[in-house]
Amino acid sequence: MHQKPQLLSRRRLVQAGAAAAVAPKIEFAHAQTPVPQTDIAYEITVADIRSGYDSGQFSIAEFTEASLNRIDQLDGADTWLAAMIETNPDALAIAEQMDEELKAGRSRGPMHGVPVVVKDVFATADRMQTTAGSRSMEGTVATKDAFIVERMRAAGMIILGKSNLTEWSGYRPVLYGWSPRGGLSANPYVTSQTTWGSSSGSASAVAASYAPVSVGVETDGSILCPASACGVVGIKPTVGVTSRQGGIGNGYTLDSPGVMGRTVADAAALLSVIAGFDPNDIAYGDHAPLFPAGDQFLDRVHQPGARDYVRAISDGGLQGARIGVVRSYWGTDTEADRHAENALLALEEAGAIVIDDIYPEGINSLQGTLTASETMGVEFPALFQRFLNGYTSGGPIRSLEDVVAWYDANPDESQWTWSSDPMSQGLYALPEWDDQHVAWINDLHDAARARGIDQVCEEHQLDALVAPTSALPTRWDNTSYFWASTQLAASAGYPSVTLPIGYTENVPAGLHFFGPAFTERRLIRFAAELERTLQARVAPQFLESTVYDDLYAPIPW
């Protein structure tokens, strides 16, 4: 029987400092600049924002201004979080309009006036650019909003700006969390540490209280890893539950726009806004059988705005839940493992039945020849052209050939090498829906679904699976995050939730819940109950350095 350690409470593990759990005791460095902790935007929840509006404590414009002020203070040369690429020049004007609507008795719903940060891959028909972090795309202004941006505007949300990311969302990953337009994102907990990627700025911005919620998109790990690294909640829904229309994607097989927040409830509130059936999403076309909903999408995918994911949260949400532990994802980071073991005890304390050492046999195939790079190599060129045709018809970039020509003319940009760069290779990609590629997708789904999540959940009657989300974030190798547990759920196109569960030397660790298709509500309920049981999350301190690199570096396989 696997021996589990004593459950560590938030007070012992966090408030008493990491010295309660590791030795020797280390004095932390001070932040480079004073971090504002008194403004109204600091560490406030969505519910409290709306309460502030409704009670007249502050207006939408005042709250939006406070959020923009935090960005000015913390995203500049002094602290250089580099979480944002640009802010919305019209944010205050939109906030004032939302105030007028509230005064007139017209509320658009629970997210009316709530600020949000959007990853710089989603089209916004305004004065902001949509560039995927690349200088080759500078000057690209969308002619219409992405589907999920339309949804947020209709809900009365204030789009504060575009967040930083790994350039092209990792399609050509020079450095995770870095883009030429935004620089290298810093972790608000320890600014010398990585944010992982690719939705780096979306996670960092929420952790730093720029906005209570943000939007990212995941191919494999791009929401879960930065959310875990930055100590926030990340939700990646089932592929197709959130529309990819109007986004610069990596691959329609795996891409899933998702959300981040400092609490499960806040992230769920944003998911309630952006989720829902978009008939133009590629998951519901001629190739629907390849996607999780299959031909039954009209029954399985709800209409936009028809589901309130916050209502999934309930007291006793883990009582009787059967949670499988995927031990294959343990063993790469001793501290990530320790916090995950602590979380397993908390799951049992909350009434869950923990079934240990679940082994989905398809993992072997996924860790071998079936990787996300195959998906991206074929699907990115087609998706990119579709984005350009539908959302940026005025240029300046009209094709992948234009991007390649720009890089070729600027060889020092992003370590450009014609012969080996994914951009140039994309010019010779297989045709979209080529028989060879479709066969590869079917093999991927066989490993991740039939011999993976579906198999073990049916065999052991499991409600969800858990594992450490990723290794703790360090700068010792910022070029990859091969220690993440994201691949199985990502390859299946199935939902995931990560939440903070503890800290080592002020560096966050996360736990990953994942399960069968369309179990978002269940995973949200479980994560919220664990969040309430552990009460693990603490606000970032913007420290300069940590000794974690030396004490607990992950094992390089």
> Cα–Cα distance between 177 and 186 in angstroms, integer?
8
Q: Which residues pair with 158 in a beta bridge?
A: 115
CA geometry: angle 249, 115, 148, nearest 5 deg: 30
Cα dihedral sign, 319-321-327-330: negative
> Cα–Cα distance between 150 and 243 in angstroms, integer?
11
Which two structure tokens, joined as six digits, stand for 453?
């999540």
314 is catalytic: no
Q: Give the Cβ contact number of residue 544 at 10 Å.
A: 15
| Catalytic entry in 198, 202, 470, 496 | 198
162 is catalytic: no
Residue in the structure block whose two tokens are 């902001």 = 128
Q: Is residue 192 packed enough to be buried (19+ CB in 10 Å), middle (13-18) or exposed (0-12)?
A: middle
198 is catalytic: yes
| Cα→Cα distances 57→45, 50, 108, 222, 490, Å | 15, 10, 19, 36, 42
> Cα–Cα distance between 169 and 179 in angstroms, integer?
9
Q: Which residues pair with 234 in a beta bridge?
A: 260, 498
Q: Give the Cβ contact number of residue 299 at 10 Å.
A: 8
| Catalytic entry in 67, 119, 214, 491 | 119
CB 191 within 8 A of CB 141: no
Rounded to the nearest 5°, which phi and psi values hold at 151? -65, -45
CA geometry: angle 434, 437, 439, nearest 5 deg: 110
Task: Give the 3-state secondary structure of residue 344.
Answer: helix
Q: Is residue 275 packed enough to be buried (19+ CB in 10 Å), middle (13-18) or exposed (0-12)?
A: buried
| Catalytic entry in 222, 272, 414, 470 | 222
Rg (CA), the chain: 22
For residue 504, the surrounding DSSP H or E stretch is strand 496-504
Taking each continuous run of H as one helix and of E as one strand, the counts in the chain are 19, 13
Which two structure tokens, joined as six digits, stand for 198?
């690719």
| Residues near 201 by beta carbon (within 8 Å), at least 6 away in sequence | 82, 83, 84, 85, 117, 119, 120, 163, 164, 165, 182, 185, 195
Residue in the structure block whose two tokens are 């870095």 = 178
Rounded to the nearest 5°, which phi and psi values hold at 521? -65, -40
Active site residues: 119, 198, 222
